[in-house]
Structure 1
């Protein structure tokens, strides 16, 4: 066949042929179906049944979902989750940004202190929880001892409903402020020196330099840090469970802790599955809102938000 005939044959419409890459895609597709889609489909199936460990499942339709709005502990758990998540995002963002500004300046032993500062992020959550549990002890804890040195009366910390969530947020802030610091530090390192030199010539103060130069230029990095911390804080479980188990009473019971109790204490698998589905929908809605906000927010070359 001549080259002209080959080109003409290639142009002729042929029947559908399976893509040549299917043998490579199919194994990955099967893995996704096995480890992601099937468990979720099975969870939704369980949520439509009344199923307690030791008894056969009974189909009850949407009864488990209808039960959720009247469940006081579930409603309170949502409130605790939102408060805990909001504080666990805002405080590391503030302190992490401040730490990044400090470590961005040059001073002796800066590298060593940077490494020391990020060490809490490397520790395991259970180990952190055990250490902070001892520190929170009303009689033997070092925190109350430090307060006594400045004349402040001892606090109950995680042993009182009014202070348990702020105390847990303190632990979360201590552990994850270094992560925000690293993200913002990368943003500060990418800023050219010319704007700072111009501000120095114009006689701008340090606060004015940060407010009108650094902060607008690191805004995209702050947004990324906020997204990472929000997703992590909403699903936080290990620190809370290891320190308080949701107590005192139900004062620190987030959705994850309540879900654990329903599934592994009361063995109500069907109702726990309904909570999982609703919790997953909440996370998807929150992530969608953050992504929508990210798409709606545009930064120009100067870092200004439009």
Structure 2
């Protein structure tokens, strides 16, 4: 625990220190204390910081909403035993095997506007080709789809574990009282499962907020030519490794860290309220 604490505390403290300086070019170069100047400069950046913040939340909320609904549906289908369920579970969990960078490169090839399988399939069906990742309007929704494809199995695993731990007695009592399948789910299963749902939302939302691999693997520096998929992670990475503005990048990361902590606090309070 001490080792993990130091491993977390030292980078956080060092980032906080850098955020209060004008560190540029190298973190070991001479720098000057500027107080909250970097934070003020970042918060006044209406061209990159605030749009990146909006994209971060748009990406997270869109992916999380679909993943929770789809994950719940799949978990309910896998809840009861059926023939071949092991093979179905293996197939559903396959996207979790690959690393995010590999997934990003794979989908980049699939969505290639010239040779990609996605447009070939659309043309085969008589539909026009789509720009997918090459258009500022479709790039972010396309990457939301990629995130849903890879991380819905994680939600399925969490919810399936929660469903398996539920007692059958409340459901059987509701069935005897004449409740149909939807009523049993809405008024019996879902309330009992709510603590597990909150855990799934907590884990997945934090992970989605921090998404970097897929975005950078598919769109590169700046989240594309028009910064169309630039989230806070991509923005901070660009400030650090493209422009070597370590003071500004650290300020962005500290603000991002506070956003994540606030989300964790809200969801944790909600989870305690549902116990």
Aligned to 2:148: 173
Aligned to 1:15: none
- 1:137-286 to 2 correspondence within 5 Å? 137-245=112-220, 246-286=223-263
Q: Distance in 2 between matches of 1:231 and 1:46?
A: 24
- 1:91-170 to 2 correspondence within 5 Å? 91-170=66-145
Aligned to 1:66: 40
Extract unaligned runs of 5+ from structure 2.
none
Shift of 1:213: 2.5
Residues 251-273 of structure 1 show CA distances to partners (whole Å, capped at 9, x for unaligned) of: 10000001010000001111111
Shift of 1:34: 4.5
Shift of 1:241: 0.6
Structure 1's 198 and 288: CA in aligned 2 closer, same or farther, altered over 3 A? closer
Relative to the length of structure 2, the TM-score reads 0.91
Extract unaligned runs of 5+ from structure 1.
1-27, 300-306
Question: SS at the partner of 1:49?
Answer: coil
Aligned to 1:39: 11
Shift of 1:152: 3.0
Relative to the length of structure 1, the TM-score reads 0.82
Do 2:195 and 2:274's aligned partners in 1 also have CA atoms closer than 8 Å? Answer: no
Q: Distance in 1 between matches of 2:99 and 2:34?
A: 41
Structure 1's 108 and 149: CA in aligned 2 closer, same or farther, altered over 3 A? farther
Q: Distance in 2 between matches of 1:149 and 1:212?
A: 45
Shift of 1:248: 4.1
Shift of 1:233: 0.6
Aligned to 1:298: 274
Structure 1's 281 and 136: CA in aligned 2 closer, same or farther, altered over 3 A? same
Q: Distance in 2 between matches of 1:236 and 1:148?
A: 32
Aligned to 1:7: none
Shift of 1:146: 2.6
Q: Distance in 1 between matches of 2:6 and 2:164?
A: 43
Q: Distance in 2 between matches of 1:194 and 1:58?
A: 66
Shift of 1:247: 1.4
Shift of 1:83: 0.5
Residues 137-189 of structure 1 show CA distances to partners (whole Å, capped at 9, x for unaligned) of: 12222222333344432211111111111111111111111111111112222
Q: Distance in 2 between matches of 1:40 and 1:187?
A: 34
Structure 1's 144 and 204: CA in aligned 2 closer, same or farther, altered over 3 A? farther
Question: SS at the partner of 1:232?
Answer: helix
Shift of 1:80: 0.5
Do 1:263 and 1:269's aligned partners in 2 also have CA atoms closer than 8 Å? Answer: yes
Q: Distance in 1 between matches of 2:165 and 2:253?
A: 41
Residues 96-119 of structure 1 show CA distances to partners (whole Å, capped at 9, x for unaligned) of: 100011111332211111112111
Do 1:88 and 1:229's aligned partners in 2 also have CA atoms closer than 8 Å? Answer: no
